[in-house]
Structures are given as C-alpha cells and as structure tokens.
Amino acid sequence: MSKVASTHFGEVELNHGRDHNLATVHQLSGKPVELDLSIKAHDHFDEAGMHKVDYRLRFLPELVDEVREMIATELEEEGTAPRQYRDFHCCELAPEKLQEIFGVEDTKDLTNKVFLNALKLGHVGIFPGDPERYFVLDFTLGSHFTDEVLVASADQDGVVDDEIEWTS
C-alpha cells in the first residue's frame, strides 16, 4: 500500500480497497474543529485526491463565512431551517442557560446576531467520492446543550448548496 503525506491528516494510506475514515482536529480562527475524511472502498482516491483535500481545506474559513452569511439571511425568513432551529432551541430558556450559551440575561436580548455568534462550526465531513457533497459542515450551539445541528454542504469546487438543513 502506498501512502501520501497530508497537511491535515498526516500519513494517509492510498488504494486500500476498503472504507477508510480519518479524523483530526483542526484549528480554525483559534477554535478546534473536528475534521473527518471518509473514503469509501469504491472511491478512486489517489495522491492528487489527497492534495485536493488539503488544498480545499485552505479555503475553509471563506466557506464557513459564506455559510454563516446564508444562515444570517435565513434567520430573517419564516419557515427556514435556521429560523426553526433558533426558535426551537431558544424558547423558554432559564436565565442561566441564556447566559451560558448566548451571553445574555433576557430573551429580549437574544437577537439574530447574538444567536449567530453562539452558533459554532463543530465538525466538517469530507467526502472525496461525492463531488456534490464534498464538504459537509455541522454548526452547533454546543454538544452540552443540544445534539442537533444545522448542516450545510459544498461541492468539490467549494460552491455551497443553497439548502441548510436541521438534523440530529
């Protein structure tokens, strides 16, 4: 089996003929983010594919900013997943939870901006065998608060899908 060095994942085995998942923690703006690289047995994943993953990860900050802008826009619209997620997770919170999660003491101070600041990128799944959902980004209010996330995906060229989903 041949191996290739990855900036983010260390030594990666190529042409392994079985499902292969690699996990690491990456610092993004000083915050830890879990990265998972999922290679399926039938994927043609070679040295160029690994270099593409490392190259695309250089643009992760811009991708995150774009998704955050989309979430901000959707928070203003009724019926969107980000709006429903916010409304569900922010209703009837005890003052100590408001302070802990959002840094405010009263629900009237829980604006979209405050909510968006509390929403963090917690996980990025990378699927080189799926060019349409190459990156899958999970945003959370924190695993200590909820196991539900807002999910956005981007294709192999870094183009973000226009649909943000709410899932657990």
- Domain range for 82 is 22-39+65-167
Give the model's pLDDT for residue 149: 95
Give the model's pLDDT for residue 15: 67
Instruction: Tell me the whole-structure pTM to 2 decimals.
Output: 0.91
Q: How buried is residue 150: exposed, middle or buried, by Cβ count under 10 Å (0-12/13-18/19+)?
A: buried
Structural domain contains residue 3: no
What angle in degrees, to the nearest 10, is found between the helix axes of 60-75 and 81-90?
A: 70
Structural domain contains residue 9: no
Structural domain contains residue 159: yes
Give the model's pLDDT for residue 16: 65
Structural domain contains residue 141: yes
Give the model's pLDDT for residue 146: 87
Give the model's pLDDT for residue 105: 87
Neighbours of 65 (CB within 10 A): 11
Q: How far is CA 149 from CA 6, 120, 140, in A?
A: 28, 10, 5
Structural domain contains residue 48: no
- Residue 141 · residue 116 · CB < 8 Å: no
> Which parts of the chain register pLDDT below 70?
1, 15-16
- Residue 141 · residue 101 · CB < 8 Å: yes
Structural domain contains residue 125: yes
Structural domain contains residue 74: yes
**Overall domain count for the chain:** 1
Structural domain contains residue 1: no
